[in-house]
Amino acid sequence: MASTSSKCDASSAAPRVELGSGSSMAQHWTGGHTAPVLCIGAAEEADGFLASGAEGGEVTVWAQEGTPLSQVHLSSKEDVTCTVFSSRAPGLLYVSHGETVSVLDPRSLKMPVDEIENVGEDEINSLSVSETGASLALCDDSGAVRVVDLQTRKVNRTLRKHTNICSSVAFRPQRPQSLVSAGLDMQLMLWNLQKARPVWTYSLQEAQEEEERSQQQGGQLFNPPLAHCVSVASCGNVLACAAEDGRVHLARVGVGSRLEQQGAIKAHSQGASQAHFLNFMPHPYFLATGGNDGVVALWDISEEPVVAGEVKAQAQAQRRKTKNRKLKTQSHEVVDGKRSEEELSEEAGCSDPNQTKTTLKLKFNHEEKVNWVCPARLKGQASLLVADQSTRVCVYALSGL
């Protein structure tokens, strides 16, 4: 698939970094797109590139100060739905458009380095690269999740269980053979790539109905919890899923990959479209969200029961390791490290979003419907990059945290 590109000329289209109106105080990156921006990705290394995709096949690579370095117009002219960098190969940028994934070099966008054509069965919605850099997961409108071997560029696993559009997929950190997916069938699924069926399925609709019954709100109407975006904390065990009911649903994976605990926070007054953990904050449980209500927010969910269960489990595991080392030193019998069923059942359960212990750290009234939120460090400053219905990229500095 051929493509054409054009270098952004600083003399003719100099970027403008502006302060937003109202309380948002956002910087506006302009000059990089002529069509509405749909997605943003950030390389993990310091001073890394940023990339945004827009309608009509536009891809732009940005410097950290907001300068558009180069742009490519993919010849397919299909909307760019996701842009992701490989943590192991920052010189590779994966871009989904239609049923194709283009592989680009962010240092030179003259043409794709490679193209994985017809890898989706329908329009691809989300991409995720494993920590090892060996695999690329994608999901599409058919509901299928596919895993591509990036060395051979071939699909080596197709996972089918979603009964509607699969909107988001993410590898679990520290577990390259495990990933999560979420879709408009209101299902959150955990997959082991060695198996053809999900390890478990969590129905957001059933969770919502259970909450309504417990609060005796049977006559009240709620938006269905269509799942839009799933993210995994760096610990690999805490999941967050933004849904149409305005909630961010939480889940914790425990021993044996079992679903140990679920919960939710009421994050937005309208549908929540984005939820992303920040992996560069003082602890791994800062969560950025965006919604159809035009709000961008940063939450500290470290005190949520779901997360507290993970912290407790990690502490127990550390105590077991310490005890085992002492036992080995004393030539005693080493305990097997298994947790009792009583411990597991005590921690299991569902936390009430109205009883949340989540702290809202920052709230920005973006005023426009949010297409994408991308956490990034810009010149050492923790920031959130936001795409909406416009051709610009907005940047919010997370100062004072």
295-328 pLDDT tens trace: 999 999 999 999 987 766 655 555 555 555 554 4
Say whether both 79 and 151 belong to one domain. Answer: no
Say whether both 359 and 380 belong to one domain. Answer: no
Say whether both 127 and 232 belong to one domain. Answer: yes
Say whether both 201 and 313 belong to one domain. Answer: yes
Say whether both 136 and 28 belong to one domain. Answer: no
E strands in 24-113: 27-29, 37-42, 50-54, 58-62, 68-74, 80-85, 93-97, 100-104
Core vs surface per residue 234-272: b (16+ CB within 10 A) or e = bbbbbbbbbbbbbbbbbbbbbeebebbbbbbbebbeebb
The structural domain count of the chain equals: 2
Indicate if the pLDDT at residue 169 is higher than 90.
yes
Q: Is residue 97 part of a domain?
A: no
Say whether both 239 and 285 belong to one domain. Answer: yes
- Euclidean distance between CA atoms 103 and 99, whole angstroms: 14
**Contacts within 8 Å (CB) and 24+ apart, 382-390:** 382/278, 382/280, 382/281, 384/288, 384/296, 384/298, 385/40, 385/42, 385/50, 386/26, 386/40, 386/290, 386/296, 387/36, 387/37, 387/38, 387/39, 387/40, 387/52, 388/36, 388/37, 389/36, 390/36, 390/37
Say whether both 319 and 208 belong to one domain. Answer: yes
Say whether both 251 and 399 belong to one domain. Answer: no
Domain extent at residue 184 = 119-365
Say whether both 332 and 378 belong to one domain. Answer: no
Q: Is residue 226 part of a domain?
A: yes
Whole-prediction pTM: 0.84
Q: Specify the pLDDT at position 348.
A: 35
Q: Specify the pLDDT at position 45.
A: 84
When pLDDT is cut at 50, 70 and 90, the band that residue 111 belongs to is: confident
Q: Is residue 91 part of a domain?
A: no
CATH number, residue 237 = 2.130.10.10
Say whether both 260 and 375 belong to one domain. Answer: no
Q: Is residue 93 part of a domain?
A: no
Say whether both 249 and 200 belong to one domain. Answer: yes
Q: Is residue 99 part of a domain?
A: no
149-153, 161-165, 278-282, 321-325: which range is least confident on average? Answer: 321-325
Q: Is residue 155 part of a domain?
A: yes
Q: Stretch 276-297: mean pLDDT, rounded?
A: 96
